[in-house]
Chains A and B, each alone.
Chain A
Amino acid sequence: MASCVGTCTLLRHFAHRIQEDFVLLSCDFISPPSLPLSILLNRFRADSGSHGSIATTCWYHTTKLDKAASSEEWGPAAPSTSIVWDDASGTLLHIDTTNDLDRNSDELELGMSMLSKYTRVRLSSNYQDSHVYVCRHSILDALLEKKHLDSFREEFVPWLCKVQYQEVKRAKYGHGTPYSSQRWYFP
Chain B
Amino acid sequence: MVRHILLSDGIFLNLLVSQVLYPGAYAQSSQTIALQHSTLLNTLPLASNSQSKVTASLKVGIVFHQKESGFAVRVDNLYSYVDVNRRVCVRLAALLSHLTLCSRFPQSITHFLPTLKTVPL
Contact = CB atoms under 8 A, between A and B. Distances in A.
Interface of A: 26, 28-35, 39-40, 43-44, 47, 51-61, 63, 65-66, 68-71, 74, 77-78, 85, 89-92, 127-131, 157, 160-161, 163-164, 170-171, 173-175, 177, 179-181, 183-187
Per DSSP, are chain A's interface residues mostly helix, strand or loop, or mixed?
mixed
A65 B80 CA distance: 8
Interface string B63-83: 111110111111111110011
B76 to A, nearest CB: 5
A187 B45 contact: yes
A33 B70 contact: yes
A180 B86 CA distance: 49
A32 B70 CA distance: 6
Nearest to B83: A69
A91 B53 contact: no
Contact of A130 (B51, B69, B74, B83): B74
B86 A69 contact: yes
Contacts of B44: 187
